[in-house]
Amino acid sequence: MSLPEKTNKGTPYTPDDLFVPLENSSYNVDHIAKPSVSYWKDAWIRLRQNKLSMAGLIVLILLILMAVFGPIISPYSYDHQVLTNGNQAPSSEHWFGTDNLGRDMFTRTWNGARISLFVGFMAAFIDFIIGVAYGGFSGYKGGRVDNFMMRIIEILYGLPYLLMVILLMVVMGPGLFTIIVALTVTGWVGMARIVRGQVLQLKNSEHVLASRTFGASAGRVIRKNLLPNTMGPIIVQMTLTVPTAIFAEAFLSFLGLGVQAPIASWGVMANDGLSAILSGHWWRLFFPAFFISLTMFAFNVLGDGLQDALDPKLRK
Partner 1 sequence: MAKYVANRLFAMLITLWIIVTITFFLMHAIPGSPFNQERNTSEAVQRNLEAHYHLNEPVFVQYFIYLKSLATLDFGPSIKQSSTSVNEMIGRGFPVSAELGMLSLAIAVISGVILGIFAALKHNGTIDYIAMTFAVIGISVPNFIMATLLIQQLAVNWEIFPVATWSSPMHMVLPAVALATGPMAIIARLTRSSMIEVLNQDYILTAKAKGMSTYQIVIKHAMRNALLPVITILGTLVAGVLTGSFVIEKIFAIPGMGKYFINGINDRDYPVIMGTTVFYSAFLIMMLFIVDIAYGILDPRIKLHKRGN
**Which stretches of the chain bind partner 1, using CB under 8 A?**
154-155, 158-164, 166-168, 170-171, 243, 247, 250-251, 254-257, 270, 274, 277-278, 282, 285, 289, 292-294, 296-297, 300-301, 304
Distance CA 225, CA 199 (A): 10
Shortest Å, Cβ 286 to partner 1: 10
Nearest to partner 1 of 176, 276 (CB atom) = 276
Shortest Å, Cβ 140 to partner 1: 19
Distance CA 264, CA 172 (A): 20
- 8 A C-beta contact, residue 96 and residue 106: yes
Residue 254: count of CB within 10 angstroms of its CB: 15
- Establish how many alpha carbons lie within 13 A of residue 118's alpha carbon, considering only the half-sphere containing its beta carbon: 17
Nearest to partner 1 of 71, 305 (CB atom) = 305
CA distance to 130, 156, 241, 279, 302, per residue, from 235 (Å) = 14, 22, 10, 43, 11
Shortest Å, Cβ 206 to partner 1: 25
Nearest to partner 1 of 74, 109 (CB atom) = 109
Nearest to partner 1 of 170, 210 (CB atom) = 170
- 8 A C-beta contact, residue 95 and residue 205: no
Shortest Å, Cβ 228 to partner 1: 28
Nearest to partner 1 of 110, 287 (CB atom) = 287
Nearest to partner 1 of 74, 271 (CB atom) = 271
- 8 A C-beta contact, residue 88 and residue 98: yes
Shortest Å, Cβ 102 to partner 1: 23
Nearest-CA neighbor of 187 among 150, 118, 241?
A: 241
Shortest Å, Cβ 163 to partner 1: 6
Shortest Å, Cβ 289 to partner 1: 4
Distance CA 14, CA 5 (A): 8
Shortest Å, Cβ 254 to partner 1: 5
Distance CA 260, CA 272 (A): 12
Nearest to partner 1 of 183, 285 (CB atom) = 285
What contacts 24+ positions apart, CB below 8 Å, involve 71-79? 71/107, 71/110, 71/111, 71/114, 74/104, 74/106, 74/107, 74/110, 76/103, 76/104, 76/106, 76/107, 77/104, 77/107, 78/103, 78/104, 78/107, 78/108, 78/111, 78/262, 78/264, 79/103, 79/262
